[in-house]
C-alpha cells in the first residue's frame, strides 16, 4: 500500500483564514490554481489532481447520485451511510430491518447485492469536445433546429466513445460555452459490505440534519465486483472483486483545526450562473412550492406508515428524501431572506448590464443576451403550475424519486418505451436509447421493494387534487376529462372525484405486479393499449401534453445553448479571473481549511465534535438512540481505555468536523484528503446557514460537514467489531475487539 502513496500530498499547517474559497473545480483546472494553493501552504504537485488515472483521483468514484472512493486493492468502497439506504431497504424485511440494525459481512460470501440499478462509475478520461459539439453550426438555424444538431452530435460522440464498453457522457460547462466528454467504467455488480446501525449512521436524524454541532457516523462500505476476466457484468456468484489501480489510505491520524484539506467527488448541481429572473422564480415560487408540498407529503406518509411495519419500511427512503429536500429548501429560503441574496443578484446583473453597455464591442457581442433570456423566462412561467403538476404525475414518482405515485410514472415509461423502441437508435429520445434499456428494466424491477399499494394510491390522490386546483388557462384537459375535474371546484369535491378515479385505476391495473411490468416493456404500442390497463390508458391520455412540453423544452434548450453560453462568457470576461463552472455531476475538486464559524451574535461554532457529544445527546430512543455498546465504549474511553484514534488535543476521539470547502448535493460520500493525501474523513452535509450558496456563494459562512476517519475506525474497532474490514484497509484492530459482527 505504501508504494501506491508515493505521490502523497503535503500541506503546511498555517493560521486559518476566515474566508471560504469558492470553486468546485474541474481536476484539470487545479494546476492553474498552483499560486493560490502555495499561498495557503500547499507543497504538493497540483498536476496530480489533473491525472485522473493517478493518485489520488484514480481512487475517486461515483455511485450515480453520491460520491465514494476505493480504500483497498480488492474493490472496497467507502461512502456515506445515507448513500446506501436503498441497498439496506432492498435487503430488509419487517423481521430483519437492516435500515435500523445495520449490517456487517464478516466474509466475502456474506456480502449482499445492493440491488438492481446499483452502479459504481470509475472515470477514465475527460476530453474537451466543444468544437465537435457546438462548432460550425449554421447561424440561420432556429433554436429548435440548433438543439437538434447539438443533441445529434452528442449522441454520435457518445456512441463512438462507448464502443470499447465504457459508459460515456457529453456534459455542458458554463451553460454551453464548453463541452467535455467523460468516459467511465460502469461496474454493475455492487455489494453491501458494512453499514453501522441507524443509531450511529443517522444519529440525530432530521433534528440535526443540516445543523451543527453534529455527531453522525455517516459512513458505509460497498464492494465492486466484475467477471473473472475483469469485465463489467451483472451480479453473479462467480464474479470477483474489482482490482482498482489506485485506492486511498484511511488515515488513523485525521486532520485538525487550521489544516488545509481537499475534497474530491461528484457534486450534483449549482446555479450560480443563473440570471436574476431565473433566481427570482426559484426563490418566490419553486422553493415555497417544494416546502409546502413536501411538508404535506411527509405528513401523509407518516400517517400511512402507522398501518404496518411493512408499509413503514417501504416508504422509509422516500420519506427521508422528502425530509432532506424540505430542510434544504427551508434553509435556502431563509438564507435568501437573511442575506438579501436576491437583491445582491439584482445588483450584480445590473452591474453586468452597465459593463456591457459601456463598450460598443461588448454591446454588439452581449447586448441582446439578457433581454432574450428574460423573455424566455417570462414565457416559461406562464404555464409553470401546469407543467410542474404534469411532471409530478408522470415523472416524479419513480422508484428513485421522492415525488408522487410510482405506478403512473411506470405506466408512462412503458407507453413511451413502446413509442421509442421502433425508431432508429439515433432518433430516440436520449433516455430511451438502447444504452439505457437495461437501466429502465432494473428500475421497474427495483421498484417492487418500495412499492406499497396503499401509499401509492394516497400519493397519487394528493397530486390529482393538486391538479384540480390549476387555474384556468393552465388546465390539464385530458385529466379533467378522466377525473371529472372543473376549474374552481371545491377541494372536497375534487377529493371525491380523485378517490373515484383512484378506485378505477387501482382496481383495474396489473402494474403492481413486477412480472407484468417487465413483460410489457417488450410490447408494441398496440399490444400495450390492447391490455386495457387503466393506469396505462391514463398515461397515454396525458402523454400528448407531455410530448408538447418536451418540444417546447427543446426549443428553449436550443435558445439556452446559444444565449446561456454568451451570458456565461460575459460574466467570465467581466470577472477577468479563473472561475469554476457550475456543478453538473462531473468529477470536481474543492479545497479549504478545517475551521469553525461565527454562528450568530454571541455564539461561535468550534470546528470539531467528540464522543462526549454523542453520550450527551443520547436519549435511548428515536433519532438519538445510540447503541448501548457504543455508549459503553465511550464510557470506557473516558475512564482511560487507550485507543490509537484519540486526539490528544481534544482528549477524545473526534466525531465530525467543519471545513470551508465548497460542496453541494452529490458530494455526499466524497473523500476528504489530509496532509498526507490520506482519507481523513467523508463529506456528508452542509450547514443550514449556507445552503443558499448553491445560488449565490457566501464567502464568510459557507461550511461543509465531514465525519472524521478516526470516528469511523474507532467505531469499527470498539463497537461493531468490523475486524475484517480494518485488516483489509491496513488498520490493525484493537486487541480486545470481541464482537465478530451482528
Say which of 21, 62, 82, 685 is annotated catalytic: 82
Residue 668 a catalytic site member: yes
Could you tell me the three cell numbers for 535?
A: 393506469
Residues 180 and 586: their CA atoms lie apart, in Å, by: 10
Could you tell me the three cell numbers for 415?
A: 407507453
Among positive and negative, which fits the CA dihedral 418, 419, 422, 423? Answer: negative
Contact 179, 133 (CB under 8 A): yes
Say which of 21, 143, 175, 218 is annotated catalytic: 218
Residues 179 and 649: their CA atoms lie apart, in Å, by: 48
Residues 556 and 552: their CA atoms lie apart, in Å, by: 6
Could you tell me the three cell numbers for 208?
A: 440535526
Q: How many helices (H) and strands (E) does the chain have?
A: 27, 20
Q: Which residues contact 98 (CB under 8 A, 6 or more apart)?
A: 88, 89, 91, 92, 195
**How deeply is 427 buried, as exposed, middle or buried, from its count of CB atoms within 10 A (0-12, 13-18, 19+)?**
exposed
Q: Count CB neighbours of 623 within 10 A.
A: 16
Say which of 668, 704, 709, 717 is annotated catalytic: 668
Residues 7 and 280: their CA atoms lie apart, in Å, by: 46
Name the percent of the chain in helix, strand, coil, to the closest 5: 50, 15, 35
Residue 82 a catalytic site member: yes
Residues 211 and 340: their CA atoms lie apart, in Å, by: 21
- Three-state DSSP class for residue 178: strand
Task: Compute, in degrees rounded to 10, the torsion defined by CA atoms 562, 565, 570, 575.
Answer: 180
Pick from 655, 651, 645, 654: nearest CA to 737: 645
- Three-state DSSP class for residue 347: helix
Relative orientation angle of helices 287-305 and 309-339, to the nearest 10 degrees: 160
Residue 147 a catalytic site member: no
Catalytic residues: 82, 218, 668
Amino acid at each position: 500500500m505504501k508504494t501506491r502513496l508515493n505521490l502523497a500530498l503535503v500541506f503546511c499547517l498555517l493560521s486559518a483564514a476566515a474566508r471560504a474559497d469558492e470553486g468546485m473545480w474541474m481536476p484539470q483546472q487545479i494546476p492553474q490554481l498552483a499560486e493560490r494553493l502555495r499561498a495557503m501552504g500547499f507543497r504538493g504537485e497540483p498536476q496530480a489532481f489533473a491525472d485522473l488515472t493517478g493518485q489520488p483521483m484514480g481512487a475517486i468514484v461515483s455511485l450515480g447520485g453520491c460520491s465514494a472512493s476505493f480504500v483497498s486493492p480488492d474493490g472496497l468502497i467507502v461512502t456515506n451511510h445515507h448513500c446506501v439506504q436503498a441497498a439496506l431497504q432492498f435487503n430488509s424485511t419487517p423481521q430483519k430491518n437492516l435500515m435500523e440494525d445495520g449490517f456487517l459481512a464478516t466474509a466475502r460470501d456474506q456480502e449482499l447485492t445492493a440491488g438492481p440499478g446499483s452502479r459504481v462509475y470509475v472515470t477514465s478520461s475527460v476530453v474537451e469536445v466543444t468544437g465537435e459539439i457546438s462548432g460550425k453550426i449554421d447561424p440561420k438555424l432556429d433554436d429548435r433546429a440548433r438543439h437538434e444538431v447539438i443533441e445529434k452530435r452528442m449522441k454520435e460522440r457518445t456512441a463512438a466513445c462507448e464502443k470499447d464498453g465504457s459508459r460515456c457522457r457529453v456534459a455542458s460547462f458554463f451553460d454551453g460555452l464548453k463541452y467535455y466528454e467523460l468516459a467511465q467504467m460502469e461496474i454493475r455488480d455492487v455489494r453491501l459490505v458494512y453499514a453501522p446501525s441507524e443509531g450511529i449512521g443517522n444519529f440525530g436524524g432530521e433534528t440535526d440534519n443540516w445543523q451543527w454541532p453534529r455527531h453522525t457516523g455517516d459512513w458505509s462500505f460497498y464492494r465492486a465486483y466484475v467477471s473473472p476476466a475483469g469485465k463489467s457484468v451483472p451480479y453473479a456468484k462467480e464474479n470477483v472483486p474489482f482490482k482498482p489501480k489506485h485506492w486511498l489510505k484511511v488515515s488513523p491520524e485525521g486532520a485538525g483545526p487550521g489544516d488545509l484539506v481537499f475534497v474530491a467527488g461528484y457534486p450534483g448541481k449549482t446555479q450560480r450562473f443563473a440570471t436574476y429572473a431565473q433566481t427570482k422564480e426559484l426563490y418566490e415560487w419553486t422553493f415555497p412550492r417544494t416546502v409546502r408540498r413536501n411538508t404535506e407529503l411527509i405528513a401523509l406518509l407518516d400517517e400511512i406508515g402507522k398501518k404496518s411495519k411493512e408499509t413503514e419500511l417501504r416508504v422509509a427512503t422516500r420519506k427521508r428524501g422528502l425530509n432532506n429536500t424540505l430542510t434544504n429548501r427551508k434553509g435556502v429560503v431563509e438564507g435568501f431572506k437573511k442575506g438579501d441574496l436576491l437583491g445582491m443578484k439584482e445588483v450584480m446583473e445590473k452591474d453586468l448590464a452597465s459593463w456591457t453597455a459601456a463598450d460598443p464591442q461588448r454591446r454588439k457581442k452581449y447586448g441582446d443576451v439578457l433581454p432574450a433570456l428574460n423573455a424566455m423566462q417570462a414565457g416559461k412561467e406562464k404555464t409553470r403550475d401546469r407543467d410542474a403538476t404534469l411532471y409530478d404525475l408522470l415523472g416524479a414518482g419513480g422508484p428513485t424519486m421522492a415525488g408522487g405515485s410510482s405506478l403512473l410514472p411506470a405506466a408512462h415509461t412503458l407507453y413511451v418505451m413502446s413509442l421509442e423502441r421502433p425508431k432508429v437508435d439515433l432518433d430516440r429520445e436520449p433516455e430511451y436509447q438502447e444504452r439505457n434499456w437495461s437501466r429502465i428494466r432494473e428500475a421497474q424491477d427495483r421498484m417492487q421493494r418500495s412499492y406499497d399499494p396503499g401509499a401509492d394510491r394516497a400519493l397519487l390522490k394528493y397530486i390529482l387534487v393538486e391538479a384540480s386546483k390549476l387555474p384556468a388557462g393552465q388546465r390539464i384537459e385530458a385529466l379533467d376529462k378522466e377525473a371529472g375535474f372543473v376549474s374552481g371546484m371545491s377541494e372536497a369535491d375534487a377529493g371525491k372525484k380523485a378517490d373515484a378515479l383512484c378506485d378505477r385505476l387501482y382496481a383495474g391495473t396489473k402494474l403492481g405486479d413486477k412480472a407484468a411490468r417487465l413483460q410489457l416493456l417488450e410490447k408494441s404500442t398496440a399490444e400495450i393499449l390492447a391490455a386495457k390497463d387503466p393506469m396505462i390508458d391514463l398515461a397515454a391520455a396525458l402523454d400528448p401534453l407531455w410530448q408538447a412540453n418536451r418540444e417546447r423544452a427543446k426549443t428553449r434548450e436550443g435558445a439556452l445553448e446559444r444565449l446561456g453560453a454568451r451570458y456565461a462568457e460575459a460574466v467570465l470576461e467581466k470577472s477577468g479571473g479563473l472561475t469554476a463552472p457550475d456543478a453538473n455531476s462531473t468529477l470536481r475538486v474543492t479545497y479549504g481549511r478545517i475551521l469553525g464559524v461565527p454562528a450568530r451574535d454571541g455564539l461561535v461554532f468550534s470546528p470539531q465534535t467528540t464522543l462526549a457529544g454523542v453520550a450527551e445527546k443520547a436519549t435511548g430512543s428515536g433519532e438519538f438512540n445510540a447503541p448501548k455498546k457504543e455508549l459503553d465504549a465511550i464510557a470506557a474511553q473516558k475512564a482511560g481505555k487507550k485507543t490509537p484514534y484519540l486526539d490528544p488535543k481534544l482528549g477524545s476521539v473526534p466525531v465530525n468536523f467543519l471545513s470551508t470547502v465548497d460542496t453541494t448535493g452529490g458530494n455526499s460520500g466524497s473523500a476528504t484528503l489530509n496532509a498526507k493525501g490520506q482519507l481523513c474523513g467523508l463529506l456528508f452535509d452542509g450547514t443550514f446557514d449556507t445552503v443558499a450558496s448553491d445560488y449565490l456563494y457566501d464567502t464568510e459562512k459557507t461550511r461543509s460537514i465531514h465525519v472524521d476517519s478516526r470516528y469511523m475506525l474507532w467505531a469499527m474497532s470498539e463497537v461493531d467489531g468490523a475486524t475484517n474490514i480494518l485488516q483489509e484497509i491496513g488498520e490493525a484492530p484493537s486487541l480486545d475487539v470481541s464482537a465478530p459482527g451482528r
